[in-house]
Structure formats: C-alpha cells, structure tokens
Amino acid sequence: MYSVESPSFPRKLTPFEVTQYGPRFTGVGAQILGADDKYICQFSEESQNFWGDRHELILGNTFVAKNNSRPPNKELPPQEFDNKVLEGFQVTPLWHQGFIRDDRRSNYVETVETARWEYSTRPVYGWGNVGSAQKSTAGWLAAFPVFEPHWQICMAGGLSTGWIEWDGERIEFNNAPSYSEKNWGGGFPRRWFWVQCNVFEGGSGEIALTAAGGLRQIPGITETYENAALIGVHYAGIFYEFVPWNGVVNWEVNPWGYWFMSADNGRHVVELEARTDDPGTTLRAPTMEAGLAPACKDTCFGILKLQIWERRYDGSKGKLILDVSSNMAALEVGGGPWFSPWKGQTSTPAVLKRALELPIDVDGFFNAVPLFKPPGL
C-alpha cells in the first residue's frame, strides 16, 4: 500500500506555511500486509522524491538513495533502479520492485524489519468487459473533485511471477493472482468496509470480485454525508457492475467477522457473504484528521461465498450463473464508529442518478484537448 499526502508541500509545513494554508499532513508511506498477517511500514514526511505518471499507473519513491545517486523520477530498468535506490520502490502495470525498512512506529502489530521484492505482472482484467473500453469505477464524475474520496480499480485480475523476501524467507511465485486499485481525494471516508477476492474455487477461468461501501462526506458548505457502495465481478470476460446509479446495493457488516452484501442492477442479482475468525491486522490509511494513521483492520484469510443470478422481470432470482467460494478473501473495516453492526443501502439522489447514466466518455473527450485533461485521468 503506497500513499502520498499533500505533495505540493515536499516537506513538513513550516509554521508560516501553516498560517498561510492551514495545517496539512505531508509525506509518502509504503506499507505491506504480508504472510502470516505480519506488517511493515516505512513513512517519510518528505515527498520530494515521489513521482507518478500523469496518465498511466506508473509511480515510485526513494526513501534513501544509494551513493549520492539522484533519485529516479521515472520508470527504470531493474538493475538501474537497484543502482540508484537503497530504500524505495517503483511500480508499473507490468513490473514491481522495491526494498523497504520498517520505521518502528507500529508497536501495536507484529512487524518484520525489511522486505525486498521483484515481480512481473500480466494483466487479465482491468475494470470492464474484456475488449471494450475500460470503465471508471465511480462513473464519469470520478474525473472531477466531487464525491471524494475517489476510487478506481486499475486491475481487477492479473497473474504475477517473481519473488519477495519476507521475514527471513524468500517466497517465489508463478502466475499468482494479483490485483490493484487506487484512491485519491481529500481523505478516506468516515466509515467503510471492503471485500476483494480473485482466488476462487468452483468456477473456471479468472474470476475477480471487488465490493465496498462507506459513508463519505459530500463537499459543500453544509456537512452532508452519503452512503456509497458498489459490487463489481469479472467472470468469463464479462463485467457485472452493481452501482448506485444502476440499482440498489444493500449491506450488513459487523464491527469484525461478518460481511454481507447484495445488489440488483436490473439485469442480474448478486449476493456475497464473508466471515473470518482471524483477529485481523491494523493498517494505516491517509485520513483527513490524522494523516497516515491506523484507520482500518484487514485480513487476507476471509471465507467468502459469491453468487450471481439472472434477474427475472419481477426482481426475483432466476438462473444461477456463478456460484463460487474462497478461503483467501481480503476483508476490511475502516474508520468508525464501529461499535455496532452496519445495515445500510445506497440511495443516489435522482438528479445524480440520471447524470451518471449518461454514457459520457470523459477520457475520449479530453483526448481531443489533451492540454486540458485533468491529471491522472
């Protein structure tokens, strides 16, 4: 998990900058939740060595450079990266390498001292039907600073080959299922939950699930909050999308141990149910109120059941077209309060719903005027 906060300030703000701009949290973080629920986190309040491509999923950071080398500011071949960077990382859609050292600020979890890794990835699913234009996870409005924080699944499923040195062991893997997503905006939501899995039994071919929901603040003068959620399943080259503007998403999530979600998008009905006895591991997230701070709990040992039916005209479940399970689901709850179960559903204001149904291709639009294209699109 990589994060950068307030990158317009390459270092911690001076007191004068605080009076000018207000307080800001700054810096770059690299966390790994690894085998056996162990954890590592390296964080620096300085972000001058962080770089990210404006258009593609390519980014990197140098915490400590080698031999007075100048830290990289773009993708490098592996050996060159190793020559320049002592502690840091670089990642592209096809390559990932790095080395980080725990900064000993996480005494509430079991940590490892260092981690080193190198692996290649062959993307299988982006986010959308295979062969079609890939979609924004949150609709075209995700292009603009409304309804933050934004969220995009970059690679719902891929296959990775390489190694990681973790806790004194070198672990090698070949065509291991992999996944990537990103968030951006002001900060994480007030309260959220998340389910992700692309290692299933009972189905053939690649199957990938991402589902999440949360209570997030809508920008504006008044403090308004909105329930948002979605479920996305890739199966046999088809993308099954359940979002607030094509239907309703329901959920019931406990403070820990139980996640249930269901949705109906007018053509299909989906249900997922996940449980864990694992105690979970506390991870950091970039929060509005405390910067990169412990904010959620995750396990990678979730027991998950996922089913999709065709929808009958009356809304009932028709033919069962997917029925799979897993014991390697990633499950998360975050923010708070989490003193009681959360039963909720999405409700998108009608105006917004109609807006999001428009097949607006923001990417295509801005390709005509690339100078005005919002960064990151």
Phi, psi of 98 (to 5 degrees): 175, 175
Q: How far is the CB of 106 from a copy of itself (least distance, A)?
A: 8
Q: How far is the CB of 96 from a copy of itself (least distance, A)?
A: 27
Closest to a copy of itself by CB, 77 vs 220, is: 220
Q: How far is the CB of 215 from a copy of itself (least distance, A)?
A: 6
Query: Considering only CA atoms, which of 68, 63, 66, 75 is closest in space to residue 103?
Result: 63
* Omega before residue 7 within 30° of 0, cis: no
Alpha carbon of residue 293 to chain centroid: 17
320 contacts 202 by C-beta, under 8 angstroms: no
Closest to a copy of itself by CB, 55 vs 105, is: 105
Q: How far is the CB of 162 from a copy of itself (least distance, A)?
A: 31
Q: How many helices (H) and strands (E) does the chain have?
A: 4, 21
Return the structure tokens found at 328. 């390697």
Q: How far is the CB of 41 from a copy of itself (least distance, A)?
A: 12
Closest to a copy of itself by CB, 97 vs 106, is: 106
Closest to a copy of itself by CB, 102 vs 264, is: 102
Please state, in angstroms and rounded to a whole number, the distance separating the CA atoms of residues 54 and 142.
16
- Site residues, a copy of itself (CB under 8 A): 21-23, 108, 186, 190-191, 215, 217, 220-225, 282, 287-290, 293-297, 334-341
Return the structure tokens found at 56. 């593609």
37: phi > 0 → left, psi -120 to 50 → alpha, else beta; which? left
Closest to a copy of itself by CB, 265 vs 287, is: 287
Q: How far is the CB of 286 from a copy of itself (least distance, A)?
A: 13
- Report the relative pairing of strands 268-275 and 291-311 from DSSP bridges: antiparallel
Burial 127-141 (b: 16+ CB within 10 A, else e): bbbeeeebbbbbbbb
Closest to a copy of itself by CB, 136 vs 299, is: 299
Query: Considering only CA atoms, which of 364, 359, 365, 363 is closest in space to residue 376?
Result: 363
Closest to a copy of itself by CB, 70 vs 104, is: 104
226 contacts 353 by C-beta, under 8 angstroms: no
Q: How far is the CB of 305 from a copy of itself (least distance, A)?
A: 24
